[in-house]
Amino acid sequence: MPLAWTVKAQLLPKASRRKSAQRSNAARPKAGDRQPLKRPSSGQTLDLKGSGIPPAVEPKCLWRNVVWEDQAMDRPEQLAGLFAQKHREHLPGLLESVIITGSAALDDWHPRVSDVDLVMVIARPMTSKELTVATRLHAESKSSTTIDGIYLTESQINEGPDRIDAVPQVVDGDLTELQAGGELTWVTWREIENGIEAEVTDTGAQHWARSERRFSAALEGAQQFSRENLASYWSALGVQSRTKLAPLAADAPVNASTVRWIALGPTRLLATIETGEILSKTNAGAFAARRWPKYADLLRRAAASRTGRDVAFNATDANLAVDLLEQCVATGRDTPLKS
């Protein structure tokens, strides 16, 4: 049986969601573990870890009746636009704009494989009724292309993550009404700077364009988060992975999502530390392959498996991925931050 494990915790960006450790105000920016593993495949599972507001309208299976192929929904902007239209229909006046982040903003999005990550800019904090309706909207997207993301008001975006305690966040189509940590890091604000934004009207998202938003603290904050995340979460994951891999034969099958997570996650963080940029997983793999050619074949295969291709991995591959993880942790610890 293939080995698979999920990086779990309280809700960090995607399925790893480990709440960051408590720290003093002087230790900002807050860190939560980013880039959690999403949708692990089946197999053995190991846990490493009255206001004048328009009334919300309860949705009725909005997404399950949509045939994406017939509607040519093969671009993230189209999917986000349809979601925004349904959102305004059932939650009038709430959603003001949407910003596409993640793989869809980094030219690494694959139809019917990737989800769509959004920063959803709302006019006001959400009421209990609105949260219930939004929960349904996101949950029903699971039947096609999952819509994930974070809800923020304009003022919260301008304040930055260090001054926000908790907001609604969506991971794998599941909405948590008030979630601390998770996407509330400067990495998300750096992604907003590079995102694709559109105004939302009753007919959906209009006039997609590259975001013009800029945040003076985002670059340094994202680099600091990446360094802390490598030293804490990823370092511990490497130790735990070695323990789990030790009894396996060299050719024992290991789940592809496990190898992708270990090989590509740390390389993205190291690239942010060294360049200040947020790279796609595929480009992060290329970045690491140029740096360390001995990992090039593993990284190429890991990137290929992200597209939906059936790529097999074994314990030898997984151990090599952990080697790369440890290399990234050590390099990130000693690399000066780019200013």
Same-domain check for residues 40 and 117? no
Is a pLDDT exceeding 50 seen at residue 7?
no
Entry pTM: 0.79
Domain count within the chain: 2
**Does residue 15 belong to any structural domain of this protein?**
yes
Q: Are 86 and 137 a contacting pair, CB within 8 Å?
A: yes
Interatomic CA distance for residues 157 and 160, integer angstroms: 5
The pLDDT, as a whole number, for residue 268 is 96
Same-domain check for residues 231 and 165? no
> What is the three-class DSSP state of 63?
coil
Same-domain check for residues 126 and 249? no
Rg of the Cα atoms in the chain: 20
Interatomic CA distance for residues 27 and 67, integer angstroms: 48
Interatomic CA distance for residues 33 and 116, integer angstroms: 20
Identify the helix (H) or strand (E) that includes residue 92: none
Same-domain check for residues 197 and 293? no
**Does residue 69 belong to any structural domain of this protein?**
no
**Does residue 198 belong to any structural domain of this protein?**
yes
Residues in contact with 44: Cβ distance below 8 Å, sequence separation at least 6, in sequence order:
1, 2, 3, 4
**Does residue 339 belong to any structural domain of this protein?**
no
pLDDT tens-digit readout, 114-173: 999 999 999 999 999 999 999 999 999 998 899 999 999 999 999 999 999 999 999 999
Boundary residue ending a domain (194, 210, 226): 210
Q: Are 299 and 288 a contacting pair, CB within 8 Å?
A: yes
pLDDT tens-digit readout, 227-266: 999 999 999 999 999 999 999 999 999 999 999 999 999 9
Same-domain check for residues 81 and 195? yes
Residues in contact with 231: Cβ distance below 8 Å, sequence separation at least 6, in sequence order:
329, 332, 333
Interatomic CA distance for residues 291 and 98, integer angstroms: 36
Same-domain check for residues 185 and 106? yes
